Amino acid sequence: MSILVGKDTRLVVQGITGREGLFHTQQMVEYGTNVVAGVTPGKGGEWALDTIPVFDTVSEAVEALDANTSIIYVPARGAADAIIEAADAGIALVICITEGVPALDMVQVRAYLDTTNTRLIGPNCPGLITPGQAKVGIMPGHIHIPGNVGLVSRSGTLTYEVVYALTARGIGQSTAIGIGGDPIIGTTFLDVLQLFEADEETEHVVFIGEIGGTDEQKAAEYIKSEMKKPVTAFIAGQTAPPGRRMGHAGAIISGGEGTAAEKMEALAAAGAKVARHPDEIAQLVAASFGRG
């Protein structure tokens, strides 16, 4: 079993004819993802990779081919409109890879999505993968193997590092999700933890946060009060100075809130096993399965 994407995913790629869109579409197709259509305004009627029809609008792709998931490789200036277009077309799940989307645009997008049934992952995220079923994003598919560890992260690079270490130990993943590192995103840690808790085949959750904001503390409250499944956590940015942004737009400590120490303390108090460095994550997970 998996969450959000799998064999029933019918993917439309917004921005498919651009360099990034076309490259990653090919990678997703080669992985086995069911890419049914692409969208680039003004290029309707063309074909991508010789087999994928291109439409002018998302609604046309939904009507013609029953697309239910969208991934966005549209430049930042048009990404918000692309998200809203997908929602208006009835797409249930939208993944926005684009980075640099203005925060004001995302405030408007979030307010609009709250009136729909569309779930957004991102922006500024690597996407998600259910190993052996579907890859919707830019993550390297070959490092993943099917299994029962769910992974949620703000950091794409750390996700890859941890997945590689888990796979090297023979520990597979149910679904791995990068939620994005911007201050305003569509799907939060708390949202994903609830999905993993409800997934019958996810037995353990890896949680990778970073400095900035209080989403990790909110997630810790849920872990403490609601989660029955074990959680292994790591917080990036443990040596970051206050007031300086580190990497992601959301990774900034301000007003004394959002420090790594606060987040690690909250997660430990919630019962999560907290790794001190990335290499320790896979060790802790392996130990929980008796493979230490």
pLDDT in tens, 90-110: 999 999 999 999 999 999 999
Query: Which pLDDT belongs to residue 212?
Result: 80
Domains 11-121 and 139-288 share a fold: yes
The whole-angstrom separation of Cα 93 and Cα 191 is 14
Question: Do residues 191 and 128 touch, judged by C-beta distance below 8 A?
Answer: no
Pick the closest to residue 86 from 43, 126, 55, 129 (CA basis). Answer: 55
| Enzyme catalytic residues | 248
Q: Name beta bridge partners: 95.
A: 71, 121
Rounded to the nearest integer, the mean pLDDT of the chain is: 93
Alpha-carbon separation of residue 137 from 50, 114, 118 (angstroms): 21, 24, 18
Cα–Cα nearest to 120, from 187, 191, 192: 187
* 246/43 Cα distance (integer angstroms): 39
pLDDT for position 290: 81
Conformation bin of residue 237: beta by default, left when phi > 0, alpha when psi is -120 to 50: left
Q: Which residues does the chain have with pLDDT short of 70?
A: 1, 238-257, 292
pLDDT recorded at residue 248: 47
What's the angle, vertex CA 62, arms to CA 57 and CA 68, rounded to 5? 120
Distance CA 169, CA 221 (A): 30
* DSSP letter assigned to residue 22: H
Extents of the domains making up the chain? 11-121, 139-288
**CATH among 2.60.120.1060, 3.40.50.720, 3.20.20.70, 3.40.190.120 for 11-121:** 3.40.50.720
- What pLDDT does 239 receive? 58
**85 token code pair:** 């277009």
pLDDT at 250 (0 to 100): 46
Query: What's the half-sphere exposure (Cβ side, CA atoms, 13 Å) at 173?
Result: 33
Pairing of strands 231-236, 273-274: parallel
What pLDDT sits at residue 214?
86
Looking at the domain 139-288, which fold is it? Rossmann fold (3.40.50)
pTM: 0.92
